[in-house]
Amino acid sequence: MHKDKFVKEVRIEDIDVIYEIQYKIIYQGKEYSPFTIGELIIENDKITIFSKDYEDYEKNGFHKKEQFVFVKEIAINNIEGIIEIKKPILDFKGLPEEKKYLSKNSISHCINTFKN
């Protein structure tokens, strides 16, 4: 357990939705997935993004991590936006995804939620 995380058992009937959160990072006008995201990853104000597109490796400064996986560490202030995607899971898979776009001006607030 984490000191600021709490657990409460509830019945599935009492829940409106259960979802996982995924992120897309907008960098140089293109959507990338973060290699991972969280407090330890962004402490140095950088984040690692990844691509499966060989062109990113050839032209955009990505480094080969493994076969067909290319990564690049970028400064947080070079991110143009973040898309937060809430994907319903378990009994709620049939519900639509929710997407929220965070502009460059809103990114610092989002990043601070990972640091706290």
Return the pLDDT at 115: 53
Return the pLDDT at 106: 73
Predicted structure pTM score: 0.75
**Predicted confidence (pLDDT) per residue in 41-60, tens digit:** 556 778 899 999 988 888 88
Instruction: Return d(Cα 13, Cα 91) in angstroms, integer.
Output: 10
**Domain locations in the chain?**
20-115
Residue 114 and residue 37 in contact, taking contact as beta carbons nearer than 8 Å? yes
